Structure 1
Amino acid sequence: MADMPRNFEASAEIMLSCPQDIMQRLCAHFVEFGAVAIDGARSRIDTAFGTASMEACLGCLKVRAEGRDESSLAYVKLSIAEHLLTFASAENPSIVWQGDGAAGQPLPYFREMRVVRTENLTPHMKRLTLAGEDLGRFATGGLHVRLLLPRDGVAPAWPVTGADGRPAWPEAGQRPDVRIYTLRRVDVEKGEVDIDFVLHEGEGMPGARFGCNARAGDIVGITGPGGGSVAPADWYLLAGDETALPAIGRILEKLPEGAEAVVRIEVADDGEEQRLTSRAGLDIQWLHRNGVAPGKSTLLEDAVRNVRWPEDDRSVFAWVGCEHKSFRAIRSYLRQDRKLTRQQHLVVAYWRCGFEGDTARREDS
Structure 2
Amino acid sequence: MAEMPRTFTASAEVRLASPKPVMERLCAHFREFGEVTVDGLCSRIDTGFGVAGLEACKGCLRISAEGKDAVALAYVKLALAEHLLTFAIDERPEIVWQGDGAAGSPLPYFRQMRVVRTMQVTPRMRRVTLAGDDLQRFASGGLHVRLLFPKRRGVPPVWPTTGADGRPCWPETADRPDVRIYTIRAIDVAKGEIDIDFVLHEGEAMPGARFAADARLGDIVGMTGPGGGSIGEADWYLLAGDETALPAIARILEELPAGAKAVVRIEVADAAERQDLRSAAKLDLQWLCRDGAPAGTTDRLVRAVRDVAMPSDGRPVFAWTGCEHAAFRSIRKYLREDCRLSRNEHLAVAYWRRGFSGDTARKEVSQ
TM-score of the aligned structures, taking structure 2 as reference length: 0.98
Worse-matched range after superposition: 127-136 or 21-30: 21-30
Residue 230 of structure 2 corresponds to 229
Q: Give the superposition deviation at 1:155.
A: 2.9
Residue 348 of structure 1 corresponds to 349
Residue 88 of structure 1 corresponds to 88
CA distances 1:99-141 after superposition (whole Å, capped 9, x unpaired): 1000000000000000000010000000000000000110011
The one-letter amino acid paired with 1:25 is R
Whole-Å separation in 2 of the counterparts to 1:14 and 1:202: 41
SS of equivalent residue, structure 1 residue 11: strand
Residue 99 of structure 2 corresponds to 99
Q: Give the superposition deviation at 1:47.
A: 1.0
Whole-Å separation in 2 of the counterparts to 1:106 and 1:68: 18
Q: Give the superposition deviation at 1:271.
A: 0.8
Residue 329 of structure 2 corresponds to 328
Residue 264 of structure 2 corresponds to 263
Whole-Å separation in 2 of the counterparts to 1:300 and 1:21: 38
Contact 1:155 1:174 in 2 (8 A): no
Contact 1:142 1:226 in 2 (8 A): yes
SS of equivalent residue, structure 1 residue 250: helix
Residue 142 of structure 1 corresponds to 142
Whole-Å separation in 1 of the counterparts to 2:173 and 2:358: 17
Residue 155 of structure 1 corresponds to 156
The alignment's C-alpha RMSD in Å is 0.9
Q: Give the superposition deviation at 1:49.
A: 1.2
Structure 1 position 54 matched with structure 2 position 61 = no
Residue 127 of structure 2 corresponds to 127
Residue 34 of structure 1 corresponds to 34
Residue 221 of structure 2 corresponds to 220
Count residues with an aligned counterpart.
365
Whole-Å separation in 2 of the counterparts to 1:305 and 1:178: 34
Structure 1 position 170 matched with structure 2 position 171 = yes
Residue 72 of structure 2 corresponds to 72
Q: Give the superposition deviation at 1:311.
A: 2.4
The one-letter amino acid paired with 1:38 is V
Residue 196 of structure 1 corresponds to 197
Contact 1:181 1:195 in 2 (8 A): yes
Query: What 5-or-longer segments of structure 1 have no aligned partner?
Result: none
Whole-Å separation in 2 of the counterparts to 1:166 and 1:145: 16
Q: Give the superposition deviation at 1:337.
A: 1.4
Residue 248 of structure 2 corresponds to 247
CA distances 1:292-345 after superposition (whole Å, capped 9, x unpaired): 111111111111111122221111111000111111111111112111112211
CA distances 1:155-178 after superposition (whole Å, capped 9, x unpaired): 311000000000000113121000
Off by >6 Å, runs of 4+ in structure 1: none
Whole-Å separation in 1 of the counterparts to 2:208 and 2:74: 26
CA distances 1:167-220 after superposition (whole Å, capped 9, x unpaired): 000113121000000001111111010000000112211110001110110000
Worse-matched range after superposition: 248-257 or 146-155: 146-155
SS of equivalent residue, structure 1 residue 309: coil
Contact 1:115 1:214 in 2 (8 A): yes
Contact 1:30 1:45 in 2 (8 A): yes
Contact 2:237 2:318 in 1 (8 A): yes
Whole-Å separation in 2 of the counterparts to 1:234 and 1:255: 10
Whole-Å separation in 1 of the counterparts to 2:180 and 2:357: 9
SS of equivalent residue, structure 1 residue 332: helix
TM-score of the aligned structures, taking structure 1 as reference length: 0.98
Worse-matched range after superposition: 202-211 or 67-76: 202-211
The one-letter amino acid paired with 2:64 is R
Residue 307 of structure 1 corresponds to 308
Residue 208 of structure 2 corresponds to 207
Contact 1:141 1:226 in 2 (8 A): yes
Whole-Å separation in 1 of the counterparts to 2:248 and 2:83: 27
Contact 2:152 2:175 in 1 (8 A): no
Whole-Å separation in 1 of the counterparts to 2:12 and 2:360: 29
Query: What 5-or-longer segments of structure 2 have no aligned partner?
Result: none
Whole-Å separation in 1 of the counterparts to 2:95 and 2:212: 37
Contact 2:234 2:260 in 1 (8 A): yes
Identity of aligned residues (%): 68
Whole-Å separation in 2 of the counterparts to 1:7 and 1:186: 28
Whole-Å separation in 2 of the counterparts to 1:125 and 1:152: 23
Whole-Å separation in 2 of the counterparts to 1:257 and 1:203: 44
Q: Give the superposition deviation at 1:359.
A: 1.3
Whole-Å separation in 2 of the counterparts to 1:230 and 1:96: 35
Contact 2:242 2:267 in 1 (8 A): yes
Q: Give the superposition deviation at 1:152.
A: 2.5
The one-letter amino acid paired with 1:183 is I
SS of equivalent residue, structure 1 residue 317: strand
Q: What is the correspondence of 1:283-302 to structure 2 with a 5 Å cutoff?
A: 283-302=284-303
Contact 1:53 1:63 in 2 (8 A): yes
Residue 109 of structure 1 corresponds to 109
Contact 1:117 1:216 in 2 (8 A): yes
